[in-house]
Chain A
Amino acid sequence: MDTIIENELVRELANTHGRSRESLMPILQDLVVHNRFLSKQDMIDVARELDISAADVYGTATFYSFLDTEVRGKYVIRICKTISCAMKGKNEILGTIEEILKVKLGETTPDRKFSLLEANCIGWCHKAPAMLINDTPYTELTPRKVTEILREYIKN
Chain B
Amino acid sequence: MSSQHVKRVDLIFEKIECRDVLKKIVDMEPDAISQEILDSDLKGRGGAGFPTGLKWRFAAKEKESIKYIICNADEGEPGTFKDREILDQVPGKVFCGMAIAGKAIGAKMGYVYLRGEYKFLIPKLNKELIEFHKTMDEFNQNFRIQIRLGSGAYICGEESALFESMEGKRGEPRNKPPYPTTSGLFGKPTVINNVETLVHTVMIMNYGAAHFRELGTKDSRGSKVFSISGDTPKAGIYELELGMTVDEFVNDFGDGDTKAVQVGGASGFCVPRKKFDETIIGFEGVPTGGSMKLFNSSRSMYNVLHNYLDFFTEESCGQCTPCRVGCQQLLKGVEAVKQGEKNSKYLDELVKLAKTMKRASKCGLGQSVGNAFGSIVENFKEEIIY
Spell out A's residues near B (CB within 8 Å). 20-26, 28-29, 59-60, 63-67, 81-84, 86-87, 119-128, 132, 135-137
Interface membership of B237, Cβ < 8 A: yes
- Closest partner residue, chain A, to B299 (CB atom): A87
Interface membership of B308, Cβ < 8 A: yes
Interface membership of B311, Cβ < 8 A: yes
B187 to chain A, nearest CB (A): 12
Asked if B307 contacts A125 (CB within 8 A), the reply is: no
- Chain B window 163-201, contacts with chain A (Cβ cutoff 8 Å), 1 for yes, 0 for no: 001111111100000000000001000000000000000
**A residues less than 8 Å from B81 (CB atoms):** 123-126
Checking A25, A121, A136 against B148 with a beta-carbon cut-off of 8 angstroms, the contacting residue is A25
Asked if B149 contacts A123 (CB within 8 A), the reply is: no
Checking A60, A82, A137 against B78 with a beta-carbon cut-off of 8 angstroms, the contacting residue is A82
Asked if A84 contacts B152 (CB within 8 A), the reply is: no
**B residues less than 8 Å from A127 (CB atoms):** 235
Q: Kindly list 10 other residue pairs between chains A and B, CB separation below 8 angstroms, not including A63-B171, A67-B151, A67-B152.
A: A21-B168, A22-B168, A25-B165, A63-B172, A64-B151, A87-B230, A121-B77, A121-B80, A123-B118, A126-B229
Asked if A84 contacts B293 (CB within 8 A), the reply is: yes
With A135-B119, A137-B120 known to touch, is A123 a contact of B228 (CB < 8 Å)? no
C-alpha gap A137/B166 in the complex (Å)? 24
- Chain B window 278-316, contacts with chain A (Cβ cutoff 8 Å), 1 for yes, 0 for no: 000000000000000100000100011001100100110
Checking A86, A122, A136 against B307 with a beta-carbon cut-off of 8 angstroms, the contacting residue is A86
Interface membership of B62, Cβ < 8 A: no
Asked if B80 contacts A123 (CB within 8 A), the reply is: yes
Interface membership of B117, Cβ < 8 A: yes
With A64-B151, A87-B299, A128-B229 known to touch, is A122 a contact of B117 (CB < 8 Å)? yes
C-alpha gap A143/B75 in the complex (Å)? 28
**A residues less than 8 Å from B311 (CB atoms):** 82, 120-121
Asked if A21 contacts B149 (CB within 8 A), the reply is: no
- 23 intermolecular pairs with C-beta atoms under 8 Å apart: A22-B166, A22-B186, A24-B168, A60-B169, A63-B153, A65-B151, A65-B153, A66-B152, A82-B311, A84-B78, A84-B230, A84-B293, A120-B315, A121-B78, A121-B80, A123-B75, A123-B118, A125-B229, A126-B236, A126-B237, A127-B235, A137-B117, A137-B120
**A residues less than 8 Å from B75 (CB atoms):** 123
Interface membership of B84, Cβ < 8 A: yes
- Closest partner residue, chain A, to B298 (CB atom): A87
**B residues less than 8 Å from A87 (CB atoms):** 230-231, 299
Asked if A83 contacts B167 (CB within 8 A), the reply is: no
B87 to chain A, nearest CB (A): 11
